[in-house]
Amino acid sequence: MKVVITGGCGFIGQRLAQRLLEKGSLVGPSGRQEEIDKLTLFDTVAPPDKLPKDPRAELVTGDIANWPLFESLIDRDDISVFHLASVVSGGGEKDFDAAMRINLNGGLNVFQGLRQRESVPRLVFASSIAVFGGAAMPETVGDLAKQTPQTTYGMTKAVCELMINDYSRKGFFDGRSARLPTVVIRPGKPNAAASSFASGVFREPLNGEPCVLPVETSQVMPLLGYRSVVEGFIRLHEVEAEALGDDRAVSLPSLVVDVAEMIAALRRVAGERPLGEITVAPDPFIQAICATWPRDSREERADALGLPKEGSVDEIVEAYIEDYL
């Protein structure tokens, strides 16, 4: 079977690609385990060093909103798609048109491409708990909480979730939406996500560099480590459709901590390792977005489906050191 990962040159896309190549097979449209003989990483840019050293892997560059290009990638009935490509939260607030074009038009291209196949392919979509928000949002959200997103990013994710439910109901494809909390620790440089500081508060000090926090240390946020995100995507792909029912969106489990607890975990794990200085300089734009986020989430469905999470923030920091330092 063929697997396509949109946003495949991003951090999670790269780790997912490597894990799928190691695994070697997925449940295909046949309902049986099928060998992965081709893995396509699709992204707007694709540096050569992003291609896994595996003959099954290929890189394709282009605009996900370009229908003829994306249609050409969905060229087999024995196919699955992991749809990760997205304009992120802060970027979506600054550029509404880009968020609509990439997140909505691009998402529709993914859905329509799969709909055209003669099979019922599986799709895993990277959604977000940013689909929740508004004045009536409860302190703890669950999969049945009303969606009133307060960012353009969250709105586009909610719309795609609804389309996936309906396309799945119609039998066009077998979709699953994974609502992500903040994913940490991302290596490299900060990105345009409002939550980028949640990785920076670990990454920069561990690199011996200063970190300037745009929020107060009392800011609470649900976190999930990148290893668990990748495994969660794969497990959600493998789940029987009957276990999901008519609501295909599942909030992945998370650890709920404030920034002060994140810093404490960093210092515990770092031990004698010298750390860069952490200072607090609140940014009203970032704080306004953070204020719309859920502070906690219920995870009964994720637990019932066996989706993983780390036991502590310390475990996430330890994994990052092992993988990247």
What DSSP letter does each residue of 147-158 carry, written as one string? ---SSHHHHHHH
Coil, helix or strand at residue 100: helix
Alpha-carbon span 289 to 286, nearest angstrom: 5
What DSSP letter does each residue of 192-239 carry, written as one string? S-GGGHHHHHHHHHHTT--EEESS-TT-EEEEEEHHHHHHHHHHHHHS
The number of angstroms, rounded, from the C-alpha of 116 to the middle of its chain's C-alpha atoms is 25
Alpha-carbon span 67 to 82, nearest angstrom: 17
Closest CA to 291 of 111, 93, 95: 93
Alpha-carbon span 10 to 42, nearest angstrom: 10
- Say if CB 305 and CB 251 are below 8 A apart: no
Active site residues: 153
3-state secondary structure 245-306: CCCCEEECCCEEEEHHHHHHHHHHHHCCCCCCCEEECCCHHHHHHHCCCCCEECCHHHHHCC
Alpha-carbon span 251 to 230, nearest angstrom: 14
